[in-house]
Amino acid sequence: MRFKSQLFALVLSVLLPAFLAAMLAIGYVYQEEQARQEAGLKEAARTFSLLVDNELQARQKILRTIANAPSLASGDLATFYEFALKNAPTADTTIVLIDASGRQLLNTRLPLGSDLPARRAPGIEELIRRDGGVSPLVSDVFLAPIGKRHDFVVQVPFIVGGEIRYFVVMGVNVTAIQALLSQQSLPTSWLGAVVDRMGVVMARSRDPEKFVGRSSDERLRKMFSSTRHGVTRSVTLDGVAVKTFYHRVDSSDWTVVLSIPESEIRRSAVRGAGMFAMAAMLLLVFSLLVARRIGASVMSRMHRLELAADALGRGEPVNYPSQGLVEVDAVGHRIVEASERLLSNQHELESRVAQAVADTERAQKALLQSQKMEALGRLTGGIAHEFNNLLQTLATSLQLAKRSGDIDRIHALLQTCSKALQRARTLTGQLSSFGRTQDARLETVSLHERIHEFRQLVDNVLPASITLDIQIPEQAWPVTIDPTQFELAFLNLVINAKDAMPAGGNIRVVVTNETAVLPAAGMDAGDYVRVSVMDCGVGMSADVMAKALDPFFTTKRVGEGTGLGLPQAFGFARQSGGTLLLHSHEGQGTQVDIYLPKAAQPVAQPSAAAQEPFAVPGKSGGTLLFVEDDPLVRESVAPALEGGGFFVIMAESADAALACLEAGTKIDFVFSDVVMPGTLNGIDLAREIVGRFPKVKVVLATGYSENRVSMPGVQVLAKPYNVADVLRMLRSR
């Protein structure tokens, strides 16, 4: 960049902010001018409201004078009639005397003794009820029944002995207010109006004969009734867009309206802003021309300084030779010094930042590794302890069964093995809750029915000192969950609550439907069913809460807990698509909230096939391809399948099974594990079979898989499975 351009940019850097400031000043002046005009118009509306108020106050004073006539106090209505007729302010002003019950006694518009209207002015009764009629009041506009014209009335009470005996009323034609408005000599483009409490036009500066008696816009009526004064944008009854200024008349709750076209309000402000902007633009152009001339005059001597500045801007070392111009050379030497300092500071800063980043990363990695190793140690240690106990039980029982010749003794030992296997199945179910959801275990259920069916078991584990209060609405949304895992999680939470209240107490279970707009971590926005389990026990410290969801972490004594209760409940909630939130303070109890997503489908009804007792199949089951990579499972399950009437062909992998099918072997059924070595797993095999061999029925068995199974016609069975369940699934159609 040349120096002339730099100087030009320097001038721009000074003038442009000034120009922008000028634009802001123009805007400010424009706004201030509008504000000044609006303030003046507000004051004009307020002043006009005072004039209307003074007019009404004057009418009230005349009425008080008439009401103080001695003839009224004595009840001489004939004399009072003549007095009222003579003291009416104008010939078209009507004086009416009304007794406390609302009956007209005289009306100066009619001869004394004439039949008088029984109905009072509209809205008067409501105004009287507000304060009992003890204060002067002014009505809204109405069409007079006698004169057939738009009138309003001013009323003062005549009180004797603290009680109202009469109401002295003055009927006034709205032309009195119209005349007051005409005296203001408003510009022809402006619109002045007076509206009553109901928004009905009483007087109007333009076309009053056309618009008097018509109602204002509904929005304006609400605004007039809710605020005493203000400004708004609106459209007049004759379709003109205006800015409306309004002010309420104190003595009547009428509203004075002053409407001015917005273009007229903006006109003077726009004219002044335009002139100011033109002057600023001319000043900018002049300054740019001057800057260009100055830059051209010093261009030849500033080239080296320009190069030095460019090098400084790029962060490079600056080599500046003297140019023979003291001022320019002084700047050049300062640039050299600044470059040296900047490079030095930059190198030092980069070194410090790199060291700080490295230290932080090392600390974070060390902390994360420590936390992982601590959690992994608890997890593996707990698993090893539990499974070593189970393996010891199985090994000892099988050794004793081999040595024993007593059938009853062998049956007892086998029963012990079955119990150990059931315990292992429960433990693996708890551990699997930390992984993905297994499709074989999912059902859409109603928590209202599920919890009440399960309550008897829960009540059995609670002592008499603890009460269980369950609140579940029948309209609770259905959820798609693993029912066994839910019951285990529910039981774990209730047992934890029981253990937290050694002296007894109350456990509350509340189920509610909730829509999460700002969901917690691990949740998407949407509809959830919240299951809250609350106790009034000892609560948790912050340190305990930080580890409460870690597997095998427990504060209970040895033998009283495995440390899998809360982690299992948390894993169940996460694998169900929700989450678990823990709230606790020492000495204030604990609340555990499980959020489960609302199911997309209704509650599943038990099928007829599931309700029928299992029938042992015959000997014509067909050809079954059994795909299992574990030889021990193949050796134990294949004979059972053959005993169920199937001709069994075994394959050690999904790849081998697919090759068997592709070779043309007639296969009726495929029973396959999901997780297997090779290029294909059980799900891939099922997908190939569904697409290429649609007549072959597929049943999958899974102990754990990160992949979800969702294919039409493919059934899923959870390991460990009962062979009878396998045979039933294979036979079902």
Given 597, 631, 647, the domain boundary residue is: 597
3-state secondary structure of 705: coil
Mean pLDDT value across residues 353-382? 59
* Domain boundaries, position 529: 436-597
pLDDT digits (tens, 9 = 90+) for 589-621: 999 999 999 998 888 665 443 444 434 444 457
What percent of the chain lies above the pLDDT cut of 90? 19
Given 233, 260, 281, the domain boundary residue is: 281
Does the residue 69 lie in any domain?
A: yes
Contact 108, 80 (CB under 8 A): no
- Residue 563 and residue 655 in one domain: no
* CATH code for position 257: 3.30.450.20
- Residue 472 and residue 586 in one domain: yes
pLDDT number for residue 607: 47
pLDDT number for residue 519: 67
Of 666 and 382, the one with more pLDDT: 666
Mean pLDDT value across residues 120-139? 81
pLDDT number for residue 428: 66
pLDDT number for residue 523: 77
- Residue 428 and residue 440 in one domain: no
- Residue 220 and residue 72 in one domain: yes
* CATH code for position 593: 3.30.565.10
Does the residue 486 lie in any domain?
A: yes
- Residue 395 and residue 521 in one domain: no
Q: How far apart are CA 570 and CA 240, in angstroms?
A: 66
Residue 436 has pLDDT above 50, yes or no: no
Does the residue 377 lie in any domain?
A: yes
pLDDT digits (tens, 9 = 90+) for 472-506: 998 899 999 888 788 888 888 998 899 889 889 99
pLDDT number for residue 616: 46
Q: Which spans in 151-215 are helix H?
A: 175-182, 208-211
What is the pLDDT confidence band of residue 372, given thresholds at 50, 70 and 90? very low
**How many CB atoms within 10 Å of residue 629?**
17
- Residue 396 and residue 531 in one domain: no
- Residue 591 and residue 623 in one domain: no
pLDDT digits (tens, 9 = 90+) for 575-593: 888 899 999 998 889 999 9
Mean pLDDT value across residues 630-659? 90
- Residue 165 and residue 47 in one domain: yes
Residue 288 has pLDDT above 60, yes or no: yes
pLDDT number for residue 517: 66
pLDDT digits (tens, 9 = 90+) for 565-578: 788 888 888 888 88
**How many CB atoms within 10 Å of residue 421?**
14
Mean pLDDT value across residues 183-193? 87
Helix, strand counts (H, E) of the chain: 20, 23
Does the residue 388 lie in any domain?
A: yes
What is the pLDDT confidence band of residue 364, given thresholds at 50, 70 and 90? low
Does the residue 33 lie in any domain?
A: yes
Q: How far apart are CA 249 and CA 55, in angstroms?
A: 11
Residue 437 has pLDDT above 50, yes or no: no
- Residue 585 and residue 632 in one domain: no
* CATH code for position 651: 3.40.50.2300
- Residue 244 and residue 362 in one domain: no
Residue 371 has pLDDT above 50, yes or no: no
pLDDT number for residue 507: 93
- What distances in angstroms separate CA 343 from CA 123, 320, 353, 354, one per listed residue? 86, 16, 15, 16
Q: How far apart are CA 355 and CA 340, in angstroms?
A: 23
Does the residue 7 lie in any domain?
A: no
Q: How far apart are CA 453 and CA 446, in angstroms?
A: 11
- Residue 380 and residue 445 in one domain: no
| The token pair that represents 163 in the structure block | 């009680």
Does the residue 300 lie in any domain?
A: no
How many domains does the chain fold into?
A: 4
Q: How far apart are CA 284 and CA 74, in angstroms?
A: 87
Of 9 and 535, the one with more pLDDT: 535
Given 243, 262, 281, the domain boundary residue is: 281
Does the residue 219 lie in any domain?
A: yes
- Residue 353 and residue 502 in one domain: no
